[in-house]
Structure 1
Amino acid sequence: MDQNKKTILKNFSPIKVLIPVFLGLGATAWLFLKDDGLDDLKGITQANIWWLAAALLVLLIRDVGYMYRIRSLTDKFLSWRNSLDVIMLWEFASAITPSVVGGSTIATILLHKEGIPLGKSLAYVMVTAVLDNMFFILAAPIALLATQGEVFPTFGFGGSDLSALKTAFYISYFLIAIYTFIMIYALFVRPRAFKWILLKLTSLKLFRKWRVNAFQHGNEIVWASQQLKGKDFNYWARAIISTIFVWCARYFLLNCLIAAFTDVTLSEHLLIISRNLIFWIVMLVAITPGGAGIVEMAFPSFFGLFLGGFSNIVVVLYRLITYYPYLVLGSIVLPRWIAKVFGRQAVEDEVKV
């Protein structure tokens, strides 16, 4: 069996889908049961339908933004339809893998099987990772300064818990920053020097068992760097602007859901966006697939201040809109995509896994 096919079938197996579903549903059930809050579900009838519609519209706009970005990065090699398949399956992969792992390996295979050479596929996936991380790196200090410390929640946190939260945030932030600047150096400054450093490090006895992987990763960096040479200002402007757009839409969706249940002032909207940024940087180190369970458990502490008794309802709606649809859509798109790029026999294999 083709190695790419093996990787796809292994990572998209039914058990990988069921694990985050059970974790998420279990955490959601616990949120309601611990406070005897099943009656709170009736609060959905009090929601402002226009804000709920706005949340769905923002979600749609965000996904179109992702499609535009990947299509622009590939110099329009991908059609809009192929871009939709790639984004749906990329989101699917992210939903069933831990946030710290992400769906980058799968994304590279997706692009490669759409007919893009491996070197270019690697380059495009690496660039999206760098752009996303740079958004976090630049936006987080702005959020901290703009909110004057209010960005960290105190609702549901004691002194030691709040200190642990801040520590987790700063560790996550600096790890992201270090990784991103290393990637920028490797991709855009000295790719061959980066490969040489990897090989030198893995020549040491302590790291020798990773030498083959280091050699392969070094080659991938060199290939990716070569594909990105000569890109003009418009190329990078489209990539940067679309990245800012999709992440702002991603965050504002939660504002719409909160505003559907309670009145939110402009300053509170800005605080929610800022707190959401901090929330997701901490969640990037979540060890569960798609942050399932962890997101549901942490959500009330971050946003309960704005929601009161509606907190559990909003976290359920938030995950129903932003997480579970990609599990469903990915499961629908996957067999057809596998049939397209690997042939019909692969679909039978995928069903058996």
Structure 2
Amino acid sequence: MSDKKNFVDKYFNIKNSLLYFALFLLISAVSLYYVNKIYSQGSNLDVLFSFSTKILISLFTLLFFYFIFDGLRLYFVLKTLNAGISFWNVYKLVFINIFISNITPLATGGGFAQVYFLQKKGIPLGKSSAAVLIRTLLSATMLFLSVPLIVFRNRSMLNLLPGDYIFVYLGLFLALYILVFYLLIFKLRTIMKIIYKFFYFLKSKHLLTKKRFRKITRYIFKNLELFSEDLAFFIQGKKIYVFLSFLFTVIFLLAEFSFSYLILKGLGYEIHFFRILTLQVLVVFIMYFAPTPGAAGIAEGGYSLLFSKFVNQSDLFPLLFYWRFFSKYVGILIGVFVFFHLIIRGGIEVEEE
């Protein structure tokens, strides 16, 4: 009980969660209002009810499987690492991740929350951290590798990208990801030496007691070793689970990008799916650099900037709203209830092995 309380108080106490959630809602509302004011021209949200039954069924079916695919990509990463957990418990983490990621800057909180609840299930810190990081890196690497291919294939896209240094940012992020993998797998001792010197410096300045210094370094080194072993284990893990981890990451991303395609079909547009895919990849790529909770403001602005080239002004606001509604707002709403339910109930229940 004390561990749960310490974690919640430190990262996700009720007051901070509600404050960040309110900030997300405020920025999102202002962004949507601004886009609507500029592009309104008679647009309204009632347009959804004019969609054909086929499109509406497709949208809600896609929404149902979108959450399942999100859960399956983490589930099979955990299976590769030999972590015993049911899909139902992983499925709950989908909504926790969506909620917490969208109320914390740079989406940093979702991973911590998932690691915490995985530990409540009995998955060690190193293994749960490795699983969440691998899940994130799989999707991020696919997106980051796709951007240069898309831009080189469509030179006109350069005019839609913000700033002249987009490839510099891309290169730095890819280099950072590769460096992190390399250090954690092949240069773990170097990382440990750096950590040791850092905490030793704090101890020498009397910012840490000798007992606290030993306790922290032992804990970090133990879990770093487990973390590094699990990263290497994933690469060498059971091939079918590794393959399914990659497969459901791809399917999840395609599902996320398909919302815009179906909404555009409902609005009467016949735009090739590949064009929608390229635009969505660029939007999500831009969102990775957004410091606001849930990329609020940046997401709406980037999406409007890119899609305004292809749709009528009167259709841009409903397109934007329903894209965010299906891809984020529904999951966030469910995540609010799941998160506070699990916090009140004490986390994910441990199963009989």
Give the TM-score category using the shorter length: 0.7 to 0.9
1:327 aligns with: 332
Say yes or no: does 1:272 pair with 2:276: yes
With structure 1 as the length reference, what TM-score do the two structures score? 0.81
Contact 1:49–1:260 (8 Å) recurs in 2: no
Contact 1:17–1:327 (8 Å) recurs in 2: no
Alignment CA distance shift 1:204-1:175 (3 Å): farther
Say yes or no: does 1:58 pair with 2:62: yes
1:248 aligns with: 254
1:237 aligns with: 243
1:226 aligns with: 229
2:316 aligns with: 311
Aligned-partner Cα distance in 1 for 2:267–2:287:
25
1:285 aligns with: 289
Q: Which residue of the other structure, out of 127, 140, 151, is the alignment partner of 2:147?
A: 140
Q: Post-superposition shift, 1:264?
A: 2.0
Matches within 5 A, 1:1-353: 1-2=2-3, 3-6=6-9, 7-9=11-13, 13-35=17-39, 37=41, 39-41=43-45, 43-75=47-79, 77-99=84-106, 101=108, 103-146=110-153, 148-152=154-158, 154=160, 165-167=162-164, 169-197=166-194, 220-228=223-231, 229=233, 231-266=237-272, 269-308=273-312, 309-341=314-346
Aligned-partner Cα distance in 1 for 2:340–2:170:
37
Contact 2:101–2:107 (8 Å) recurs in 1: no
Aligned-partner Cα distance in 1 for 2:347–2:64:
29
Alignment CA distance shift 1:342-1:65 (3 Å): closer
Q: Post-superposition shift, 1:192?
A: 2.4
Aligned-partner Cα distance in 2 for 1:290–1:128:
18
Contact 1:50–1:260 (8 Å) recurs in 2: no
Q: Post-superposition shift, 1:100?
A: 5.6
Q: Post-superposition shift, 1:52?
A: 3.8
Unaligned runs of at least 5 residues, structure 1: 155-161, 344-353
Aligned-partner Cα distance in 2 for 1:85–1:210:
39
Alignment CA distance shift 1:323-1:342 (3 Å): closer
Partner of 2:308, secondary structure, is helix
Deviation per residue, 1:270-324 (Å, 9 max, x gap): 1221121111111111111101122222322111122212011110111111222
Q: Aligned partner of 1:304: which letter?
A: S
2:351 aligns with: none
Q: Aligned partner of 2:156: which letter?
A: E
Alignment CA distance shift 1:21-1:313 (3 Å): same
Aligned-partner Cα distance in 1 for 2:104–2:330:
16
Aligned-partner Cα distance in 2 for 1:209–1:50:
67
Q: Post-superposition shift, 1:168?
A: 5.4
Contact 1:133–1:176 (8 Å) recurs in 2: no
With structure 2 as the length reference, what TM-score do the two structures score? 0.81
Aligned-partner Cα distance in 1 for 2:227–2:253:
24
Q: Which moved more, 1:47-56 or 1:281-290?
A: 47-56
Count of aligned positions: 328
Contact 1:254–1:318 (8 Å) recurs in 2: yes
Aligned-partner Cα distance in 2 for 1:72–1:210:
42
Alignment CA distance shift 1:234-1:186 (3 Å): farther
Q: Post-superposition shift, 1:10?
A: 5.5
Q: Post-superposition shift, 1:236?
A: 1.7
